[in-house]
Homo-oligomer: A and B are copies of this chain.
Amino acid sequence: MKIVVDAMGGDYAPKNVIAGVVEAIKEFDVQIVLTGVKEQIENELKLYHYPAGRIEIVHTDEVVGMDEPATVTIRKKRNSSISVGLRLLKEQGYDAFISAGNTGAVVAAATFNLGMLPGVSRPAIGLVIPTLKGVAFIIDVGANADPKPEHLCQSGKMSKAYMNAVLGVQNPTVGLVNIGEEEGKGTEFQKESYRLMSESISTFIGNIEPNEIYKGKSDCIICGGFVGNVILKVSEGLMEASSILIKREIKKSPVALLGAFLMKKKLTHIKKLADYSEYGGAPLLGVNGIVMISHGRSSPKAIKNAIRASIREIEHKILDVMAKEVSAS
């Protein structure tokens, strides 16, 4: 099993990426191929003891910045750590690609270099999120900001396959994010998406309102990339603001300060409700290859967890399973 990791991706690259990779090879039976600037990678690797044969470096001299436009990987920097990494999947048959780099650039390069999975017309980014009942899978959180109803329906099928094959959920339910529960609610886009999904996804449970997401009302949560990205970022911002407010408030009262000290362990646990580093990365679904996008601020632990998640996808032959599910109806 060979997993390609973009050593240059993320706000703390290559440092955090390399640290996560070294942790991963100690824990999992996997070969890692690092793409990026060889000298920088070697300098980082020197800091660790690890089985040297398990990490390989493929030098690339171009690096994609976090703020560059998505098309840069296709139009200009075709020898970037992202593009080269993805071509290794296509040309060498390597098993998966992970990057904490520029999300738009990874999506564009993956679509261009790997092509689409049969039956799927657009890529979508999924994310495993914690809920009161366990976990749910929300898709799309940002690959396709202006989708058509058939793209949402394809996301529904892919996520159902993913939840079942990779996360072991039997007959995962599929819900469509909408601002009302009844069938006729929302825009024409919503109504048509509803119709397509109800016709072709057996476990479709209808609309789910955004306040039901964290309660775990459905296993798969389907929405367009704009709405999904808003859901994630509002959640992130609200948890951050609450946390700042808690600290600000308890400082005003010695009693509350003591209370907070006693609760500290449990409060940390709560914060995980909007902490996505636990799963390590967001699978990019719809392209013809296993691609995982990690957060730009990924810790070494997040990178290690992204590698673990990719291994699970490889083991469960997620591409075959999804292609079968998409073409089934």
Contact = CB atoms under 8 A, between A and B. Distances in A.
Given A186-B226, A235-B238, A236-B211, A258 B262 contact: yes
Contacts of A226: 179, 186-187, 227
A12 interface: no
Contacts of A267: 246
Given A227-B226, A235-B234, A241-B132, A270 B255 contact: no
Contact of A238 (B230, B255, B274): B274
A239 B238 contact: yes
Given A145-B179, A179-B226, A250-B263, A234 B256 contact: no
A55 interface: no
Interface in A99-156: 131-132, 142, 145-146
Nearest to A241: B214
A149 to B, nearest CB: 14
Interface string A230-261: 11011111111110111001101101101111
A229 interface: yes
A182 interface: yes
A213 B230 CA distance: 11
A252 B144 CA distance: 42
Contacts of A249: 266, 269-270
A137 B312 CA distance: 45
Nearest to A263: B259
Contacts of A246: 266-267, 270
Contact of A240 (B69, B142, B211, B259): B211
A182 B67 contact: yes
B238 A214 contact: yes
A56 interface: no
Interface of A: 67, 69, 131-132, 142, 145-146, 177, 179, 182, 184, 186-189, 209-215, 225-227, 229-231, 233-242, 244-246, 249-250, 252-253, 255-256, 258-267, 269-270, 273-274
Given A132-B244, A210-B237, A242-B270, 17 more contacts: A69-B184, A145-B179, A177-B230, A210-B229, A210-B233, A211-B234, A211-B236, A226-B227, A230-B230, A230-B231, A234-B234, A239-B242, A246-B270, A249-B269, A252-B266, A256-B265, A258-B259
